[in-house]
Structure 1
Amino acid sequence: MGMLFKAVDPLVRFRHSLAMRWIGKLFLWLLAGIGGLVVVITLAVVTFTASMRTDKPTMPDSAVLSLNWNEVLEERYATLPSFKAVPPATLLDTVTALDRAAASPAVKALVVRLGNTSLGFARAEELAAAVRRFRASGKPAYVYADDLGGFGDGTRLTTLAAAFDDVWMAPSGTVGLTGVALETPYFADALEEVGIEAEFEQRYEFKGGADPMTRSDMSGPIRQSLTRLVDGLLDHAVASIAADRDLTQQQVRALVDGGPYLGREAVAAGLIDRLDYPDAFEAHVKALTGSDAKWIDAPFLLAATQAEPPEEGPGSSRVAVLYGVGPIGVDDQLGGPFGDPGFNSQGLIDILNDIAKHKDYAAVLFRVDSPGGAYGPSDAVWHAVGQVQAAGIPVVVSMGDVAASGGYFVSASADQIIAYPSTITGSIGVYGGKFDASQVWDQLGVNWEHVTAGQNAGMWSFNRGFDESERERFATSIDFVYEDFTSKVAQGRGFDAAKINAVARGRIWLGSQAVEVGLVDRLGGFSEAMAAIRDLLGLDAGAQLDLHVLPQPKSPIEAIAEALESGDFSLAFGTMIAEAAERRIMTRVEAVLGDIDGVMGPRGLLSAPPMHFGD
């Protein structure tokens, strides 16, 4: 069989290839545009459908409040999750729903699915306290768990479960009541092995933030501080479990040392009440509450019981709710329109300045859950809080799991500071430095040449260590930051020099300890913070507060519009997808390993040392 060959002019072939490439690109752009348009239209339809559901729902005559604590319970949302007609409840929403359910004659009982969610000790205390307030109204609270932290978080989850009347668990479950463990990595030997030297300064002996880079083991003062920390956390858990399960503290302490427990062992020990499957649990609750009771979630209850806001005036109770969550960094909004903005210091400063200028809120509730971070943004937020107070508007800080170092700095001037007994706070100190990688380059045969104008121009180079002049200037800056930090804490808390020296130097405190030394005013969570605001505003104990979360979470459509306006839609949409996947992955990883932010989060001059809790 013969083949026919046809000669083609190379120029024609090139033009044809170029044309095909352009057609291909045009086709890809067209597909991308159509895909983006489909996404926008889909989200628009979902959001429009949700927006049509603006009628206030009606509470049924008989209801059971059903909550799922298997999912991550966020402090706040920057952008509402996509494709959900009703936004999921935040921690504040959940606590508010529990308190309203306690007061509602229609709500007959509380049902919670617990497990596979990463909760710090303090937030577990918040939820347990809200459950106890619900039970104090004379209504029963039931909880079901597939597992109570058999592979981590067991002490926290067992403490939370104990707050319920009736605790059920799957027959295959384990109760991981084993106590509290804290791990801190030390990298000095590893850094030396690869030829990297850490050149850090810290103030002072209890700070410990630089130790993982400069030491191979834990120092005496740090071990003393962290031992007191874990002992305090376990003391709180033991006392709580003992009170809720009608056991003595000695009995619970013995149970801690004997854990973890198989299901039948946990029943015999009095830690749980029954082993069975979810369908049996649901049937049991329905038999007790009546088959006509409608099971409702927190968003439904909040919408159905939402009262009209009180009239504004001299006794106005409009309260701005602000969140400072996560490490405090220099850059803001790195997650894009769809991403989590993190602490977002500049966003907080803008809102605080606006509140001080317009005076359209009677008070500010500032929720802080941060291990600290960069000095400059921490100081700027501290100043903005002071501007609000100078305008005659009181500020109350509610601390979350951690409000330490820079997290305490931004809180220090508040009119009232509220913390949970197990909040980790204090760490009033500073550390910072750099790594010298010159030995690495020497081993690789790489020679860095330096050309500088100015004696200390190259002091932050990672390719060499500090010289004596640079080290002196850096130590001076660290001393300045420490003096500025401690003086502002002393000013806000009314401490003299001896007092601030006794509570600072990097010491870490639990909330229960911090209230004794004057760093915190009251123990509690959102409920106590609301009470403090009423006191400061001269309102009655039961007065309604009109809460406004600032900034309001963006809807998916608003986030898309912002992304399109900024010209980074593809990046923003990719960020949204990536963060959704990351949340699902991290939720599953932390269900097994526990909270890993403690060893992964960014660090700064005003940051608590890296810690990983296991229990």
Structure 2
Amino acid sequence: MNQPAPAVPPALPSRRNPIVAFFVGLWDVMNFTRRLIMNIVFFGLLLLFLAILLVIVGKGGIEPLQSRTTLVIAPEGRIVEQFTKDAAMRALAKATGDDGAEEVQLRDLLRAIKAAKEDGNVERVLLDVDKLQPSGYASLNEVARALADLRASGKQIVAFSEGLSQWQYLLAAQANEVYLDPMGSVVLEGMGRYRQYYRQALQDKLGVDVHLFRVGEYKSAAEPYILDAASKEAKEADLFWMGDIWQRYLGDIARLRKTTPQQLAAGIDTLPEGVAAAGGDLAKFALQQKLVDGLKTREEVEDLLAERGVADKDSETGFRSVDFNGYLARLDASRLPLDKRPQVAIVVAAGEITGGEEPPGKIGGESTAALLREARDDDDVKAVVLRVDSPGGEVFASEQIRREVVKLKEAGKPVVVSMGDLAASGGYWISMNADRIYADASTVSGSIGIFGLIPNITRTLDKVGVHTDGVGTTRFAGAFDISRPLDPGVGQLIQSVIDKGYADFTGKVAAARKKSVEQVDEVGRGRVWSGAQAKERGLVDELGGLDSAIADAAARAKLGQADKYRVRYVEQMISPLQQLFGGFAQSRIGAAWLKDSSFARALLLKSMPETEAQLRFVESAVKDKSGQPVKALAYCFCGF
């Protein structure tokens, strides 16, 4: 009898080899990553395409300016020599409402005002400086002179404000008529310079001993780290140069408002009584002091301009107008694509001077020297203007830039320096060898001096029971370690380096300015001067702005009248991606997308650099870079 075949049990699923499972999983991850990257690239290319399209359409769709147009100049942010962020980041900051990051280039303000003077379609200017942030008086004076020139040409300037600070008022006062909101104010308070002093906090509270090595009793840059209050020399020097700038300010305002500096000064001295007499009404007090011509709301001013100009119901202002950025776009669109005229090149040196490569808005010893070298190698460049706005910084980086100035002159190309708000210490170092130095009367300059700063945290560590010990093959092995007590021999070494740095500084100034070292030392020793005071002491050749420096450079190169040469800024190139994203972000669609995008806000927060303060500079400067335990600094904390 046949036996039934035994039932075959169902096959169990085979267990995958762990190694095989690992590689299969790895493949799945790689495959997912590949698809993700392809999607990112696709949408990135789509964004770039939209940016290109918007830029092309935007450039081609600029309407010509109509006759009897009012140019609205309402600068937002600080006036700077050079943007510290690229176009994409500026547009991103604008779109996401980061007002603190906004900047306006001095050159753009001047360009728009000068073009409006010659533009037959611009009938008048509405000046609104309410969003102008604190800026240096030299820059403000440049803009004020351009506005005064526009006004002298016969074109009316009307200024309106809801509240004017002292620096804003310097520009508003240039107008034919100044109107203030009935709830606004204009407060002139004078100039002051106050700093925090950290000795007690550092030495007594934290146990940090700061060793300062310097030459010059007026070199007060690092005093806050070793004193509890300003030294007598620092107060004397600060009050001297600030007093000169303040008296010039009062004189300019008095001339414009048909009063006297004494009356303005008396109004400030009796401010509490004057405001009380006006019933606490700051706007009324400003009117009584002749600082404004009338009290009007914004709507009333717009109605006034509609009556004087051309009413336009479709315009946000109610009258035919073009805003500052729109006017600049028209000026850019009208530029000739190819201009074969010989060039006066402008190289901007703005910010702190540090070693290596730095982005715009800072001065790198290598990057700024490279720009000067580019101008030297360009056959179309016949002369160079070095525009300096710097408190100084590292001595070696300053020397790198100065050497390039000398090489430009040796190549037969004149170099003229135009000082902006600040050209002190290292800022003067890079300027001194120019064929001619121009400064505004309110420029802050000088501060010829050197210092070094060495913190020591031995007592700080001792407070928490931490001690440093070990061995070295020589007396000075590890001697620059800030967690070990400072050896007196190290202090002597550092002071020798600082003394030598000061001798180099004064010696180079003496050779460049054709003076004796003793004469330079008399105006040096770290002392700060206003531009006018610097001229009186032979540190500056002429008082004047950027235009004067350009004309001088062109004359030295024998380029003829202004229409015979071209002025070009030599700057670091931005990438095509930055250009495209900047164009997209500045468009209406891009701005709307960025404004509502949480991704854009997060990107902005991660990408925008932090504001750098004086403490950050000192922290960076004392770091050991490139094996340099001793570093001489030519820096001036003399901004205000």
What TM-score, normalized to structure 2? Answer: 0.80
- Once the 2 structures are TM-superposed, how far is the Cα of residue 453 of structure 1 from its aligned partner? 3.6
Partner residue of 2:152? Answer: 136
Partner residue of 2:195? Answer: 184
State whether residues 391 and 637 of structure 2, in contact with CA within 8 Å, keep that contact through their aligned partners in structure 1: no
State whether residues 416 and 552 of structure 2, in contact with CA within 8 Å, keep that contact through their aligned partners in structure 1: yes
- Once the 2 structures are TM-superposed, how far is the Cα of residue 308 of structure 1 from its aligned partner? 7.7
2:103 and 2:578 map into 1 onto residues whose CA distance is: 18
Identity rate, percent:
25
Partner residue of 1:69? Answer: 75
Asked whether 1:329 is paired with 2:329, we answer no
2:24 and 2:287 map into 1 onto residues whose CA distance is: 75
Name whichever of 27-36 and 275-284 sits farther off: 27-36
State whether residues 385 and 414 of structure 1, in contact with CA within 8 Å, keep that contact through their aligned partners in structure 2: yes
1:22 and 1:170 map into 2 onto residues whose CA distance is: 69
Amino acid across the alignment from 2:494 = F
Name whichever of 465-474 and 503-512 sits farther off: 465-474
1:263 and 1:232 map into 2 onto residues whose CA distance is: 29
1:612 and 1:185 map into 2 onto residues whose CA distance is: 14
* CA-based RMSD: 3.5
- Once the 2 structures are TM-superposed, how far is the Cα of residue 83 of structure 1 from its aligned partner? 8.9
Name whichever of 603-612 and 129-138 sits farther off: 603-612
1:57 and 1:366 map into 2 onto residues whose CA distance is: 36
Cα gap change, 1:497/1:38 in structure 2, threshold over 3 Å: closer, same or farther?
same
Partner residue of 1:425? Answer: 445
Asked whether 1:299 is paired with 2:319, we answer no
Cα gap change, 1:225/1:47 in structure 2, threshold over 3 Å: closer, same or farther?
farther
Asked whether 1:80 is paired with 2:93, we answer no
Match of 1:245 among 232, 244, 257: 257
1:609 and 1:581 map into 2 onto residues whose CA distance is: 26
Cα gap change, 1:234/1:216 in structure 2, threshold over 3 Å: closer, same or farther?
same
Partner residue of 1:125? Answer: 141
State whether residues 47 and 557 of structure 1, in contact with CA within 8 Å, keep that contact through their aligned partners in structure 2: no
Deviation readout 1:233-279 (Å, 9 max, x if unpaired): 21121011101111111111112324486112111211112222322
Amino acid across the alignment from 2:66 = P
Partner residue of 2:10? Answer: none
Name whichever of 471-480 and 521-530 sits farther off: 521-530
State whether residues 348 and 386 of structure 2, in contact with CA within 8 Å, keep that contact through their aligned partners in structure 1: yes
- Once the 2 structures are TM-superposed, how far is the Cα of residue 368 of structure 1 from its aligned partner? 1.1
2:74 and 2:491 map into 1 onto residues whose CA distance is: 53
- Once the 2 structures are TM-superposed, how far is the Cα of residue 31 of structure 1 from its aligned partner? 5.3
- 3-state SS in 1 of match to 2:384: strand
- Once the 2 structures are TM-superposed, how far is the Cα of residue 494 of structure 1 from its aligned partner? 1.4
- Once the 2 structures are TM-superposed, how far is the Cα of residue 459 of structure 1 from its aligned partner? 2.9
Cα gap change, 1:175/1:296 in structure 2, threshold over 3 Å: closer, same or farther?
closer
- Once the 2 structures are TM-superposed, how far is the Cα of residue 610 of structure 1 from its aligned partner? 3.0
2:480 and 2:412 map into 1 onto residues whose CA distance is: 43
Equivalent positions of 1:311-322 (< 5 A) are 311-312=340-341, 316=342, 318-322=343-347
1:245 and 1:556 map into 2 onto residues whose CA distance is: 49
Partner residue of 2:556? Answer: 536
Name whichever of 534-543 and 573-582 sits farther off: 573-582
Partner residue of 2:244? Answer: 232
Match of 1:38 among 24, 43, 58: 43
State whether residues 368 and 401 of structure 2, in contact with CA within 8 Å, keep that contact through their aligned partners in structure 1: yes
Structure 2 unpaired stretches of 5+: 1-13, 95-101, 276-281, 313-319, 582-599, 622-631
Partner residue of 2:129? Answer: 114
Match of 2:54 among 49, 72, 76: 49
- Once the 2 structures are TM-superposed, how far is the Cα of residue 558 of structure 1 from its aligned partner? 4.3
- Once the 2 structures are TM-superposed, how far is the Cα of residue 197 of structure 1 from its aligned partner? 0.5
Partner residue of 2:117? Answer: 102
- Once the 2 structures are TM-superposed, how far is the Cα of residue 311 of structure 1 from its aligned partner? 4.3
How many equivalent residue pairs?
A: 570
Cα gap change, 1:249/1:307 in structure 2, threshold over 3 Å: closer, same or farther?
farther
State whether residues 47 and 83 of structure 1, in contact with CA within 8 Å, keep that contact through their aligned partners in structure 2: no
- 3-state SS in 1 of match to 2:238: helix
Equivalent positions of 1:201-216 (< 5 A) are 201-216=213-228
Partner residue of 1:161? Answer: 172
- 3-state SS in 2 of match to 1:174: coil
- Once the 2 structures are TM-superposed, how far is the Cα of residue 488 of structure 1 from its aligned partner? 1.3
2:16 and 2:461 map into 1 onto residues whose CA distance is: 50
- 3-state SS in 2 of match to 1:42: helix
Amino acid across the alignment from 1:113 = D
Partner residue of 1:442? Answer: 462
- Once the 2 structures are TM-superposed, how far is the Cα of residue 206 of structure 1 from its aligned partner? 0.8
2:271 and 2:558 map into 1 onto residues whose CA distance is: 49
Equivalent positions of 1:584-595 (< 5 A) are none
1:12 and 1:144 map into 2 onto residues whose CA distance is: 80
Structure 1 unpaired stretches of 5+: 1-8, 149-153, 562-572, 587-595
What TM-score, normalized to structure 1? Answer: 0.83
2:510 and 2:300 map into 1 onto residues whose CA distance is: 57
Partner residue of 2:629? Answer: none
Deviation readout 1:378-397 (Å, 9 max, x if unpaired): 00000011111110111121
Equivalent positions of 1:146-545 (< 5 A) are 146-148=162-164, 154-193=165-204, 194-259=206-271, 262-291=282-311, 293-297=320-324, 298-303=327-332, 306=335, 311-312=340-341, 316=342, 318-333=343-358, 340=360, 342-540=362-560, 542-545=562-565
Amino acid across the alignment from 1:100 = A
State whether residues 63 and 296 of structure 1, in contact with CA within 8 Å, keep that contact through their aligned partners in structure 2: no
Cα gap change, 1:445/1:131 in structure 2, threshold over 3 Å: closer, same or farther?
same
- Once the 2 structures are TM-superposed, how far is the Cα of residue 439 of structure 1 from its aligned partner? 0.6
State whether residues 382 and 557 of structure 2, in contact with CA within 8 Å, keep that contact through their aligned partners in structure 1: yes
- Once the 2 structures are TM-superposed, how far is the Cα of residue 363 of structure 1 from its aligned partner? 1.1
Cα gap change, 1:156/1:30 in structure 2, threshold over 3 Å: closer, same or farther?
farther
State whether residues 383 and 554 of structure 2, in contact with CA within 8 Å, keep that contact through their aligned partners in structure 1: no
2:461 and 2:214 map into 1 onto residues whose CA distance is: 27
- Once the 2 structures are TM-superposed, how far is the Cα of residue 70 of structure 1 from its aligned partner? 2.9
State whether residues 366 and 398 of structure 1, in contact with CA within 8 Å, keep that contact through their aligned partners in structure 2: yes
- 3-state SS in 2 of match to 1:421: coil
- 3-state SS in 1 of match to 2:485: coil
2:284 and 2:240 map into 1 onto residues whose CA distance is: 33
Amino acid across the alignment from 2:162 = D
Cα gap change, 1:552/1:346 in structure 2, threshold over 3 Å: closer, same or farther?
closer
Cα gap change, 1:553/1:142 in structure 2, threshold over 3 Å: closer, same or farther?
farther
1:21 and 1:272 map into 2 onto residues whose CA distance is: 74
1:436 and 1:125 map into 2 onto residues whose CA distance is: 44
2:450 and 2:460 map into 1 onto residues whose CA distance is: 28
Deviation readout 1:339-379 (Å, 9 max, x if unpaired): x5621331111122233234330111211111111111100
State whether residues 168 and 275 of structure 1, in contact with CA within 8 Å, keep that contact through their aligned partners in structure 2: yes
- Once the 2 structures are TM-superposed, how far is the Cα of residue 173 of structure 1 from its aligned partner? 1.9
- Which of 1 and 2 has greater Rg? 2
Amino acid across the alignment from 1:102 = K
2:366 and 2:564 map into 1 onto residues whose CA distance is: 31
Partner residue of 1:606? Answer: 633
- Once the 2 structures are TM-superposed, how far is the Cα of residue 482 of structure 1 from its aligned partner? 0.8
- 3-state SS in 1 of match to 2:201: helix
- 3-state SS in 1 of match to 2:87: coil
